[in-house]
Amino acid sequence: MNTPNDERTVLHLFTEMAIVEHLLRNRYDRATPAGMTTGQFGLLGHFIRNGVPRERLSLLAWAFQDSDEYMAEKVSTLVARDMLSTTPVVDTNDDHWVEITDVGREAHAQALAEIKPEVEQFIEGIGMEDLRTTLRVVQEIRRTLDNLPDR
C-alpha cells in the first residue's frame, strides 16, 4: 500500500525529471542548427537511434504521442529544410512514408558535436556507472508509463 511518503517521493521524482527535461531542452535548443526545435531534432534522432530508413507518419505521431496533424507540421518543416523527405503510402490516401535525408543526418551530427563539451563535463560530474544505473531506471519508468491505460 502506498503511504503519503511514497506519494511524495514519486511526485518529487517527477518534479526532478521535469526540471531535468527543461534544462536539457534549453541546452538542445541552443545546440541545434538555427531554426530547428527540440522536437524536430528529436524526430531526426528517432531515425538515427532506431536505425530505420523510413517510417509511416502515423506511426511517428503515435511514437511521439502527437496528433497526426502536429506530426505532419513538424515533418513538413524538416522537409522544407531538406532534412526529411516524404512519399505517399501506396495502400492508403492519408498516410506518408517519412525518411531522413543526408542533410538531416548531418544536421543531427552537427548538433551532437556542438553539445559534446557539455556532455563530457556532465560525465565527469556524475560518472558513467551512475549514468548507466540511472538510464536503466529511467527506461523502466518510461516503459511503465508507456504501458499504463489511456495511452
pLDDT, the chain, mean? 90
One-letter amino acid of 148: L
Set of cell numbers at residue 56: 509511416
pTM for the structure as a whole: 0.79
Predicted local distance difference test score (pLDDT) of residue 116: 86
3-state SS, the chain, equals CCCHHHHHHHHHHHHHHHHHHHHHHHHHHHHCCCCCCHHHHHHHHHHHHHCCCEEEHHHHHHHHCCCHHHHHHHHHHHHHCCCEEEEECCCCCCCEEEEECHHHHHHHHHHHHHHHHHHHHHHHHHCHHHHHHHHHHHHHHHHHHHCCCCC
Q: How far apart are CA 33 and CA 31, in angstroms?
A: 7
Question: pLDDT tens across 28-64, in order?
Answer: 788 777 778 888 889 999 999 999 889 999 999 999 9
Predicted local distance difference test score (pLDDT) of residue 1: 56
Question: pLDDT tens across 83-115, in order?
Answer: 999 999 988 778 999 999 999 999 999 888 888
Q: How far apart are CA 85 and CA 87, in angstroms?
A: 7
